[in-house]
Structure 1
Amino acid sequence: MVEEVSSGAREGGVRRADVRRAWHRGLGVLISVVRWFGTAAAALLAVHVILTIGNANPDNGITKFVASWAEWLALGFQDLFMPADPKLEVLVNYGVAALFWLVIASLATRVLSALNRPSI
């Protein structure tokens, strides 16, 4: 005798509703990770700008740590603009990189959120 399941068809012993729920939960986690990473990247770049403009000791461990991560996160924006003042150069280039991370994170979360909408 075959037993019918009224709450959703079974696929290999797993209900479609369970798969859908897991999909939405996984995408929700991914959306949070992308949002946090973009915000953290922008914040680290902003801290680098503040430390540079504020004349932080370049030999300090914190300053070295932030500068090394900022260099990696700048993704080629480090020398996009070349004003005469080195502090202005850091402000503009790393500021643009921070804005880039915020925009990319925002766009990615919008795309992922669109995928995470429940189907009708």
Structure 2
Amino acid sequence: MAARRQRGPSTVATLINLVGFALAAILVGHIVFTLFGWGENQELVSTVADAADFLSLFFPGLLDAGNPTLQLLADYGLAAAFWVLVMGVAAKIFG
């Protein structure tokens, strides 16, 4: 009897998950840059902020935290979790 070979995730699923984590990393990077007060006059910080604003979709202002730090975490943290979740589901479907 031939041994059954265990299959791991497909390449497509791996790439989809990688994209999801990259999008979440941009959003988390924006949170870190903002919390540590890195100025937007730096090119990297400005580029990440622009990308995070685009990727945050409808999440900014969805919840009212009352505290600016918590508001930042809620807005962009929920968006990061959303992208990881959506890409994880897409990886399951296509992988």
TM-score tier by shorter-chain length is 0.7 to 0.9
Change (3 A) 1:105 1:67: same
The one of the two structures with greater contact order (alpha-carbon pairs below 8 A, sep at least 6) is 2
The structure 1 segments of at least 4 consecutive aligned residues displaced by more than 6 Å after TM superposition are none
Match of 2:41 among 56, 59, 73: 59
More divergent stretch after superposition (29-38 vs 50-59): 29-38
Q: CA deviation at 1:39?
A: 0.6
Amino acid at match of 1:65: T
TM-score (normalised: structure 1): 0.66
Amino acid aligned to 1:59: N
TM-score (norm 2): 0.81
State the partner residue of 1:90: 72
The total of aligned residue pairs comes to 86
Tell me how large the CA RMSD over aligned residues is.
1.3
- 1:49 matched to 2:31? The reply is yes
Structure 1 residues not aligned, in runs of 5+: 1-27, 114-120
User: Rg: which structure is higher?
Assistant: 1
Using the aligned pairs only, state the percent identity: 28
Q: Is the 8 A contact 1:41 1:98 kept in 2?
A: yes
Distance in 2 separating the partners of 1:103 and 1:38: 8
